[in-house]
Amino acid sequence: MPVRGRNQSAQALHVHGRLFLLDCGEGTQNAMVEHKIPMMKLDSLFLTHIHGDHVFGIFGLLSTLGMKGRQMPLNIYAPVNFGPILKFFLSYYGDGIGFEIRYTPLKMKEPETILETKSLRVQAFPLNHGIETFGFRFEEKDPPFNVHKDAIGKYGLTLTEIGTLKRGEDVVRADGCVIPAEEAAYKPFVPRSYAYVTDTAPFPEEADWVRGTTILYHETTYLEELADQGAQRHHSTTLQAAHLAQEAGVGKLLIGHFSSRNVNGKAYEAECRKVFPNTFATSDGQEYEIFL
């Protein structure tokens, strides 16, 4: 339900210069303008499910992109039952869409890679929400090694030897000299990850599917006193999300998708912190850097 100062579900995720949109609830394009998110640079849209608070903003967003003259294709990853919605939109309003929409229907029983680039891997996995619903996990790939600059001069490294070290392999020269990769090269960063999980009730595999994630965003629609409603409506409570984060060994827990009967996200945060102290209640316009 509408709540003053709180929009429907949508998150912008920046990864290595690419802009992803996670869900597209009512008012998303207005929120993108307000928070200076460059919608024309949008690379891909990931929809968890077709409930209105997660998709009612897509017609406006697609129409605006068309009116702005977008030419670059737009990737949409969404459940199979989103297909008829997209077809309906294009049948009535498609004349103004001058760009290709590349729709990838999601239907899987366990985590599957749906997008892979040189530096990134995106997995989708099924949730427990009564209808087809999916979570998403974005993970940086292991970067190639960098070679220490002083090692290049110290050992007189050739281009071939530098390439060997960048692969993490020791250099073995014809005279038997060995240049250890662990001495001459280093990893520039440890891969980070982000998981977006909304909406869902707990299920047995969930912790394994988000294990070790740097930052986990998880819905907490209900405070623990309304756990019975969470079970009926296939949503999670504060303590359920917090226990999941603890079991999965995530670095940080972000929570949201609060019931419209509660306007104070700090109450949710306080309950979660009893179990998982590194929990933060989100609100519109907040930015988070994903780091280890």
Residues forming the active site: 53
Please tell me whether the peptide bond between 228 and the residue prior to it is cis, using omega within 30 degrees of 0: no
Say which residue the tokens 């969404």 belong to.
78
Q: Which of 65, 66, 36, 49 is nearest to 9 (CA)?
A: 49
Distance (Å, whole) CA 280 – CA 254: 5
Phi first, then psi, for residue 90 (nearest 5°) are -65, -30
Q: Which of 221, 217, 219 is nearest to 286 (CA)?
A: 217
Q: Indicate the DSSP class of residue 224.
A: G
Distance (Å, whole) CA 15 – CA 291: 12
Q: How many Cβ atoms from other residues are within 10 Å of residue 122's Cβ?
A: 20
Distance (Å, whole) CA 136 – CA 139: 10
Distance (Å, whole) CA 172 – CA 235: 57
- The answer to whether 272 touches 253, Cβ cutoff 8 Å, is yes
